[in-house]
Structure 1
Amino acid sequence: MGNADLRQLAAIEETPFADLEGSVVAVDAHNWLYKYLTTTVQWTGADVYTTSDGTEVANLVGAVQGLPKFFEHGLTPVFVWDGGVTELKDDEIADRREQRERYEEQLDDAREAGDAAEAARLDARTQRLTPTIHETTRELFDLLDIPQVEAPAEGEAQAAYMTRTDDAVDYAGSDDYDCLLLGSPVTLRQLTSSGHPELMDFDATLAEHDLTWEQLVDVGILCGTDFNPGIDGFGPTTALDAIGEHGDLWDVLAAEGEHVAHGDRIRELFLNPDVTDDYVVDPDVSPAIDAARAFVTDEWEVDADAVARGFERIDAAAAQTGLDRWT
């Protein structure tokens, strides 16, 4: 899911890490990992993360570089992995595949032209989360004793649900604005960026625009989601005004003579997504740092220098936090 138009409506403000210390964050694993995967591929030589048999594990470099941000600020991440994908998202997936194929063609041209910078940029855009990336990332997290949850469907939906219903989870963590449509009370954005994160507040967003949750979802559907292309001429402001005037999606569509295929089901995917209570969140982690380092550098042949600083930061955070959280 993803709808950047929602930023124009969302109540968002920068939040100092100091205000978040001691919190548990349900992180949209695919969203988080993909950011670090693409960044690593763009700015790191392939020889650093390619094994002797040609397998690329740039994810391990990215994960080791990204994890310290949580630990250094006293946050416990719970990584939530995507499960099955609804068939309504097939068109979106097909569009992404076609775009990746176009990037691959451009990448070949850039390599033939000897344009290293452009080739690196396009190589990052052709990345996908392969089975090897999934498996090795999960094993690294296991070695570091980082909690993981397998969602039955969309990871961000499960993260939003956990934040809304589980007292042990304080925030969802995702750059995906659809966490707002999914009812996440508070979502931390830009956890993969430099500086402090942004806090996206669900209740403040509804109050600011005098909306119900259902109406906010209707605004999103009018603008377009990964499940529908939206209605021509409707941006965030137009959609907000239309919902304010007519009350809900169906009356807006009737007034405009428009139709949204599977509209009822799309609405339910946001309001009542497929989620699970079958998980355990234990914030008291005991990372096996030496074993994790060996897994990355020995078993998967990642250049030790590329991950040395990341492991040093994790180790330092462990020492600073103390034995209550780390062993």
Structure 2
Amino acid sequence: MGNADLRSLAVLSDIPFEELAGSVVAVDAHNWLYRYLTTTVKFTRDDAYTTEEGTEVANLIGVVQGLPKFFEHDITPVFVFDGGVTDLKTAEVAERREQRERYEAELETAKAEDADAERVARLQSRTQRLTDVIHETTRGLLARLDVPVVEAPAEGEAQAAHMARREQVDYVGTEDYDALLLGAPYTLRGLTSKGDPELMEFQATLEEHGLTWEQLVDVGILMGTDFNDGIDGVGPKTAVKLVREHGDLWGALDAQEAHIEGADLIRELFLDPDVDEDISLELDIEPDVEAARAYVTDEWGVASEEVDRGFERIEQSLVQTGLDRWT
């Protein structure tokens, strides 16, 4: 998830959708999908996305609700999925699992006590995880809509940032501010939310604070990342000041008489992450909306009324933007 305090350092601005027409966006799939998964569970009755065997596929409703925004604004999404978990992130993953288990226990208690529907829905949304079935069905739906999928060897966000630096895509799409530390030139936040998205600019951020990429990563490490806890009492302004005064992370740590375990490895995870250098994208996509609809409603039994509007929007957008754009 990254450190949200990075927001106070980032150069941000709203960007009209008109300026994004014809662009390609590498979407951090796990980040985007989890947001839609939890929202769907919170606001949709569970029988609408639960199969007869009891398998929950709320992701299919979420994807159908979220994708139209791309098509309507003539934007080609490329969904980049995480590969293996980086060793240094194991502790964070374990902490999230423990937190989810606590929510699951609270959920069972709430159900036993016949708690109000709003509380139950809130707890259900907090217990969501990206199961094997959710991975499988999300890829199945994207395949039928001919949306490109990239399988990253490690962090999907790092792969997306790498593709953007190589100009294979125009933007990275994520809510995570760590895209800045990964050197993503232009990042879009809130891309499929209401209103215009927010643009986060890498080079402008470096210039704003007089930092190099390496120094920006050092600032992030001092504040804390997914891979390490920060130094107590060191927020964004203090971290920038320390790195400016002492040159780099090591100088800043010496000045604070502090130590961060594995700091050199953490630095490399941002500056030289494990990515696939041989990604080849096929961007002349041809969505098969009817096949996608049948996959969701017939094969997986999702209530048609929950996805009809989303599929209609996709169909309408293909006509409005010109079918030749997608074929």
Other structure's SS at 2:234 match: coil
1:255 deviates by 1.2
Are 1:146 and 2:110 matched, yes or no?
no
Partner residue of 1:122? 123
Contact 1:81-1:151 at 8 Å conserved across structures: yes
1:323 deviates by 2.7
Other structure's SS at 1:259 match: coil
Equivalent positions of 1:172-187 (< 5 A) are 172-187=172-187
Partner residue of 1:162? 163
Contact 1:25-1:172 at 8 Å conserved across structures: yes
Contact 2:70-2:192 at 8 Å conserved across structures: no
Counterpart Cα distance in 2 of 1:221 and 1:275: 21
Contact 1:32-1:192 at 8 Å conserved across structures: no
| 1:45-99 per-position Cα deviation (integer Å, ceiling 9, x unaligned) | 0000000000000000000000000000010000000001111001100110111
Letter of the structure 1 residue corresponding to residue 282 of structure 2: D
Counterpart Cα distance in 1 of 2:281 and 2:21: 17
Contact 1:110-1:116 at 8 Å conserved across structures: no
Are 1:109 and 2:109 matched, yes or no?
yes
| 1:26-55 per-position Cα deviation (integer Å, ceiling 9, x unaligned) | 000000101100000000000000000000
| 1:191-238 per-position Cα deviation (integer Å, ceiling 9, x unaligned) | 242111000000000000000000000000000011111111111111
Counterpart Cα distance in 2 of 1:277 and 1:269: 16
Counterpart Cα distance in 2 of 1:267 and 1:173: 23
Letter of the structure 1 residue corresponding to residue 238 of structure 2: T
Partner residue of 1:276? 276
1:120 deviates by 0.2
Other structure's SS at 1:324 match: helix
| 1:109-133 per-position Cα deviation (integer Å, ceiling 9, x unaligned) | 2222322101101100110000000
Partner residue of 2:249? 249
Structure 2 residue ranges without an equivalent (≥5): none
Identity of aligned residues (%): 66
Letter of the structure 2 residue corresponding to residue 131 of structure 1: D
- How many pairs align? 326
Structure 2 length-normalised TM: 0.98
Are 1:236 and 2:236 matched, yes or no?
yes
Counterpart Cα distance in 2 of 1:326 and 1:190: 24
Partner residue of 2:224? 224
Mean CA deviation greater in 271-280 or 2-11: 271-280
Contact 1:284-1:324 at 8 Å conserved across structures: no
Counterpart Cα distance in 1 of 2:205 and 2:226: 21
| 1:258-304 per-position Cα deviation (integer Å, ceiling 9, x unaligned) | 11100101000000000112222222210111010000000000000
Structure 1 residue ranges without an equivalent (≥5): none
Contact 1:13-1:198 at 8 Å conserved across structures: yes
| 1:132-162 per-position Cα deviation (integer Å, ceiling 9, x unaligned) | 0000000110000001100000000000000
Partner residue of 1:304? 304
Counterpart Cα distance in 1 of 2:320 and 2:256: 60
Counterpart Cα distance in 1 of 2:135 and 2:215: 36
Partner residue of 2:65? 65
RMSD: 0.9
| 1:296-326 per-position Cα deviation (integer Å, ceiling 9, x unaligned) | 0000000000000000000001111223223
Counterpart Cα distance in 2 of 1:170 and 1:266: 27
Counterpart Cα distance in 2 of 1:7 and 1:119: 32
Other structure's SS at 2:199 match: strand
After TM superposition, the runs of 4+ consecutive aligned structure 1 residues lying more than 6 A away are none
Counterpart Cα distance in 2 of 1:99 and 1:210: 38
Other structure's SS at 2:228 match: coil
Structure 1 length-normalised TM: 0.98
Other structure's SS at 2:80 match: strand
Mean CA deviation greater in 36-45 or 269-278: 269-278
